[in-house]
Amino acid sequence: MTHLPERLLRGYKNFINNHFSYKTAHYQQLAIEGQKPEVLVIACCDSRTIPEVIFDAKPGEIFTLRNVANVVPPFSPDNNYHATSAALEYAVQLLEVKHIVVFGHAHCGGVCTALKETCKSLPSNDFIGQWISLLAPAAEIVLNNKLLSWPEKQTALEQLSIRHSLRNLETFPWIKFRKDQGFLTLHGVWFDISSGKLWSMEQETSCFMCVELESFGV
């Protein structure tokens, strides 16, 4: 068996010495009682954005689903493999989370690919092309806006895709049911990597507003 990269081993040592050793009781409690997170975060695979770090969450507080470009496909029951849909079902049906947060971010590579590839046919014989094609309708809308610069189009699609994912969430019958009953709330946020600013989507207008912590008394 090959050894793990030294960076990971050093990180694990630091985790044991400076984290786990001080919170052993918490981990033992999680092992015995199981997890009961109230929040599901649907985030991108991008290594620069870590929801647990950004929200300063403890183990057991956030159930995280990560895929390329934080995309939620529409409900499509068939015999294919649906990792995202399976994670959604587990979080909503079994864990009964109270909040779902679609977490997008600036400089998303998946979104950039969608913008570039929309101008030509997406490859149908690879995984990433098939997945990114879910962004194609939103990408077409953004590309047709001639008033936006390329960086502005990137940001526009990052935020528009969050809106589309929120809409797709409601195509899942058990998500829509729990939302309509008041047991589940859907949220959209966009994180600016360079500034650390978090933007939250307003439910009434679907516009993204910068989160001002002072206004929440935080």
Tens digit of pLDDT for each residue in 24-79? 999 999 999 999 999 999 999 999 999 999 999 999 999 999 999 999 999 998 87
Query: Which residues, including other chains, have CB under 8 Å from residue 131's CB and lie 6 or more apart?
Result: 67, 68, 69, 71, 110
In DSSP terms, 101 is beta-bridged to: 41, 187
Task: Report H helices in 34-101.
Answer: 51-54, 83-89
Read off the pLDDT band of 215 (50, 70, 90): low
Distance CA 60, CA 42 (A): 16
Read off the pLDDT band of 129 (50, 70, 90): confident
Binding-site annotation, residues for Zn(2+): 44, 46, 105, 108
Binding-site annotation, residues: 44, 46, 105, 108
Give yes or no for a contact between 163 and 170, defined as CB atoms under 8 angstroms apart: no
pLDDT of residue 118: 61
- Give yes or no for residue 204 having a pLDDT over 80: yes
Give yes or no for a contact between 190 and 208, defined as CB atoms under 8 angstroms apart: yes
What's the whole-model pTM score? Answer: 0.93
- Per-residue tokens: 180: 């309509």
Task: Report H helices in the chain.
Answer: 6-18, 24-33, 51-54, 83-89, 109-117, 127-132, 136-143, 150-169, 173-180
Domains of the chain from N-terminus onward: 1-34 (no CATH), 35-216 (3.40.1050.10)
pLDDT of residue 34: 97
- Per-residue tokens: 110: 């998946």
pLDDT of residue 46: 98
DSSP state of 69: G
DSSP state of 105: E
User: Using CA of residue 101, residue 107, residue 108, residue 111, what is the dihedral sign?
Assistant: positive
Average pLDDT over the chain reads 93
136-184 pLDDT, tens digit each = 999 999 999 999 999 999 999 999 999 999 999 999 999 999 999 999 9
Q: Which of 17-21, 99-103, 111-115, 136-140 has the highest mean pLDDT?
A: 99-103
